[in-house]
Amino acid sequence: MASLPREQWSSRYGFVMAAVGSAVGLGNMWRFSYLTAENGGAAFVVLYLAITLVVGLPVLLAELTLGRGAQKSPIRALAHFGGNRWKPLGLVFVAAGFLILSYYSVIAGWTVRYALSGIVFGFDGDAAANFGEVATGWDAFGFHLAFMAGTIYIVAHGVSGGIERTAMILMPALFAIVIALAFYASTLEGAGGGYAYYLETDFTKLSELDVWKAAAGQAFFSLSLGMGAMLTFASYLDRNSNLPAESIVIAVADVGIAFIAGLVVFPMIYALNLSSDVGESTVGALFITLPKAFAEMGGVGRGVGGLFFVALVVGALTSAISLLEVVVSAAIDGLGWSRRFAAVVLGATIAVIGIPSAWNTNILGAVDEVANNIFLLGGGFALAIFVGWWMADPEGEVAQGTSGPFWLPIWRNLLRFAVPLFLGFVLYFAIPSTWRTVASLF
């Protein structure tokens, strides 16, 4: 079959915006805040930052290296550098794409609904009842479908014409909104309590294994690691791009937005005396507490809350695009499908897989746990082994197009030892506890 030349990003800036768009999403603004609340504030934040630097960043550079080097989608890229026996790992990545997007899109649907109804009608003071309505049943399903349709539309338009263009317009808008909201939150009376909770470290928390598990899962989820999303995006880069520099820019932007989102969420919650609500944090907590805060702020709350949810929608969309692209690129490369056909058929399949999550938030929470604790951490573990031990010359592959920074040998050694040891340790605890969560559904 004659194949078209591989698609490419039209500029370095476009690639960086698309990759940052993949990283920055619900993970930074919803998941990060709710996990921080659940795991005792600043200790969790410090741990998450450390894991991102020592474990996340090396895996990110590994993914970028595999993608750019092979110029192929995940399954073929692994076969390119490791032979056919590594193909099943690529299949696991594609399966993770299906699984994560199926519930990610449901949550994204809630944010679309909140953004629209908040701006048009104002936020509902009876936030818990309202959440029950928004987050389950036909309502949740309808917005999930609408969100998937938007994601499919953009991916169908291609790498530079769809994904890159969207990210180049939307990401700067998201940065501006989040920074403006953080300034606004700092002017609220009583914001100090929120900062104190968020920034004062209680190191005794570090003795709890659950905190480590949550921080590791969050580091991978937030950087879009362990399932080939970054690998796929890097496969559209030309060979002389500077991967170490890109990986640092992506990680800094991702962590920066998560941190600033915390500077929005915690002061607002404390200023309106809603902190006890967050204490019993679950998947839905932020979607109840924040709208309550916005409702209490009156007219201002409508604008502030509207902007907050618009930022969430934007972040979710640019991340969902990257999840769908993993699956679509695999079908284009492996099955010879056209981009448009692949986007529609696979996107529709994912929408169907999301139905149980749209009906029941406990199912959604369990799928989220499986995806993170098993697929992403397991995928990161396997990637580290692959690049650290199996691949012939990873340092040489990174250094194409650049001189290669002095820390490349450190990078290789982190992938060989620290990353697999750490992830192996976390998986050892995460697998049984995730199993219990899944079993409790039945």
Ranked by CB distance to ligand PHE, the top (closest) residue is: 27
Residues 13-42 that bind ligand PHE (CB under 6 A): 22-23, 25-28
* x-or-dash string of contact with ligand PHE, 228-247, rule CB under 6 A: -x------------------
Query: Closest separation between CB of residue 100 and ligand PHE, Å?
Result: 6
Query: Closest separation between CB of residue 372 and ligand PHE, Å?
Result: 9
* x-or-dash string of contact with ligand PHE, 312-341, rule CB under 6 A: -------x--xx------------------
Stretch that binds ligand PHE, among 76-84, 153-161, 223-231, 403-411 (CB under 6 A): 223-231
Q: Does 224 bind ligand PHE (CB under 6 A)?
A: yes
Q: Does 372 bind ligand PHE (CB under 6 A)?
A: no
Residues 97-126 that bind ligand PHE (CB under 6 A): 100
Tokens of 347: 């996107």
Using CA atoms, how far apart are residues 441 and 337, in angstroms rounded to an integer?
A: 37
Query: Closest separation between CB of residue 319 and ligand PHE, Å?
Result: 4
Residues 73-102 that bind ligand PHE (CB under 6 A): 100
* x-or-dash string of contact with ligand PHE, 274-313, rule CB under 6 A: ----------------------------------------
Quick check: 290 and 308 in contact, CB under 8 A? Answer: yes
Using CA atoms, how far apart are residues 24 and 122, in angstroms rounded to an integer?
A: 27
Quick check: 383 and 416 in contact, CB under 8 A? Answer: no
Stretch that binds ligand PHE, among 44-52, 181-189, 222-230, 334-342 (CB under 6 A): 222-230
Binding site for ligand PHE (CB under 6 A): 22-23, 25-28, 100, 221-222, 224, 227, 229, 319, 322-323
